Amino acid sequence: MDCVLLASGSKGNCIYIGNETDAVVIDAGIGYLYRTLGEYQLPAENVRGLLVTHEHSDHVRSAKAFLKSAHIPVAASGGTLSEMERNGMIPLSSEKILLGKGIEAEFGTLRTAAFATYHDAREPTGFIIDDGDSRIGVCLDTHKVTDTMLAALCACDAVVLESNYSTSAMKSDTFDRCKMCRSCGAACGGSCAVLRPYPRYLKDRIIHDGHLSNEASSEVLSRLKKSVGTVALAHLSENYNRPNLAREIAEDATEGGDVRIFVSDQCPMYRENRMVRFSV
């Protein structure tokens, strides 16, 4: 299967996962999504469904327009579907598919299962996509990863995993210095200061009910490194993370394993220059 992170972060989220005949799109947080698939030679006619992790705008901003253009069903938890309906994000003509604990769905040759995540949304989920030959897990927007979630992710060939913020930066509004000089996409110019400091209440929301830190993500990776061959770090904060910091701690956590690590971020010209794309 191919996995393409078309966008990842607070500016918008969208992931394409598919094989030669069938595909799903996870989240629709970027505009002109149907057209964007074509621009990147991703066959929109193969997309069998839109899967939604939760109802926040950076994940559903263009859901209604995409569902109208693609004429496909939308699949999510009951809570997410209810919130999307309440906010007018699902066309009346669209088929709705419930996903949750013990409930799976098939989209052509792709079998999809959901697992609960922990975020300040109605009923957020992650997804496992399996085409019989390979399996990809997607775990975004969660402030913790439980043993149940780990068990699901350990059974995957590849995992898209959130690595949202640097713990030290969140505490001090400054970044640790890089271990080595590499292009990080943040244009730091040697500055260790965050781009835009957050107020305390927002930091508390992110830490306690929002997202995984680099350090928490690395703890997950240390458990996955013996079974998962490919990891894409996703949903990096534009203000409280830098791609090289996320990569370095992930590489330390997976030392001794045979893991390919990709890093998705929100730097300028992201789609053209830093799109994450891999196959398993």
pLDDT tens column, 132-162:
999 999 999 999 999 999 999 999 999 999 9
Q: CB neighbours (10 Å) of residue 125?
A: 28
> What superfamily would CATH give domain 2-279?
Ribonuclease Z/Hydroxyacylglutathione hydrolase-like (3.60.15.10)
Query: Taking the alpha carbons of 236, 127, 4, 62 in that order, is the dihedral positive or negative?
Result: negative
Q: Which of 177, 175, 162, 173 is nearest to 236 (CA)?
A: 162
Q: What local confidence, expressed as pLDDT, does residue 138 receive?
A: 98
Q: Is the full-model pTM beyond 0.85? A: yes
| Per-residue pLDDT, 181 | 45
SS3 253: helix
What are the respective helix, strand and coil percentages of the chain, to the nearest 5? 30, 25, 45
The full set of domain ranges for the chain reads 2-279
- 232 pLDDT exceeds 90? yes
Q: What is the DSSP letter of 165?
A: B
Closest CA to 165 of 251, 257, 255, 266: 266
Structure tokens that stand for 223 in this block: 């458990």
State residue 142's pLDDT score: 98
Phi then psi dihedrals of residue 84, to 5 deg:
-65, -40
* Residue 191's pLDDT band (cuts 50, 70, 90): low
What are the tens digits of pLDDT across the range 111-138? Answer: 999 999 999 999 999 999 999 999 999 9
